[in-house]
Amino acid sequence: MNLSGFSHEYNATFKLFDVNETAEQQQPSDDEFDAVNTFYHVFQYVCMTLGIPGNILSAIVWLRLHVASKNSSAVYLAALAVNDLFFLMQKLTFIYSIDECASWFCCCSVFLHLSTTTLEPLLVLGFCVERLIAVCCPLQVCCINLHNLHVFLSFFYLLCTCCE
């Protein structure tokens, strides 16, 4: 007995299921694949258009001598900007590459992709740990030598890329 006054024929959430029916699940049509693929490519071009100049400007701003010399976080942010710029440039080469992946350029591009995707979260982790130390122990932290930080980041990058 239906007390709600609605018939199950008009209720879109109520659907009868027959266990004896062996209908196959419907696959998305080619039009849906084309729409998703088009959206993906448009989104990639928007990210390239905004990301490449934005990361170049960020790296220029954070690597200025008067900014980087007073703030050790600027070095991490500049490294993130350069890392993202390398990733976007590598992604741009994959968009326009139509040949097989056997040349030295393609192998270097794959290596660059793997190293940038590995280094990104590690740089964020280093930045967060540096900020945590600065917040938790503000009076006990000595001034960080930027030359040592640059050497550490370079060594860290080489270690990450060699371990892949």
**47 has a pLDDT exceeding 80:** yes
Q: Which residue in 57, 36, 54, 56 sits closest to 46, CA to CA?
A: 54
Say if residues 119 and 157 touch (Cβ distance below 8 Å): yes
Q: What is the pLDDT of residues 27-38, one digit of tens each?
A: 666 777 888 889
Comparing 53 with 150, the larger pLDDT belongs to 53
List the domain range (segments joined by +) for residue 140.
Answer: 34-162
Mean pLDDT, range 130-154, rounded to an integer: 70
Residue 4 belongs to a domain: no
**63 has a pLDDT exceeding 70:** yes
Average pLDDT, the chain: 75
What pLDDT is recorded for position 141? 58
**45 has a pLDDT exceeding 80:** yes
What pLDDT is recorded for position 129? 82
* Span of 47-56, 88-97, 109-118 with lowest mean pLDDT: 88-97
Coil/strand/helix, residue 24: coil
Residue 144 belongs to a domain: yes
What pLDDT is recorded for position 5? 56
Residue 28 belongs to a domain: no
Residue 103 belongs to a domain: yes
Residue 14 belongs to a domain: no
pLDDT grade for 25, boundaries at 50, 70 and 90: low
Residue 127 belongs to a domain: yes
Residue 10 belongs to a domain: no
What pLDDT is recorded for position 27? 63
Residue 63 belongs to a domain: yes
Query: Number of folded domains in the chain?
Result: 1
**This prediction's pTM:** 0.65
Half-sphere exposure of 154 (CA within 13 A, CB side): 6
- Show the 3-state SS of 8-61: CCCCCCCCCCCCCCCCCCCCCCHHHHHHHHHHHHHHHHHHHHHHHHHHHHHHHH
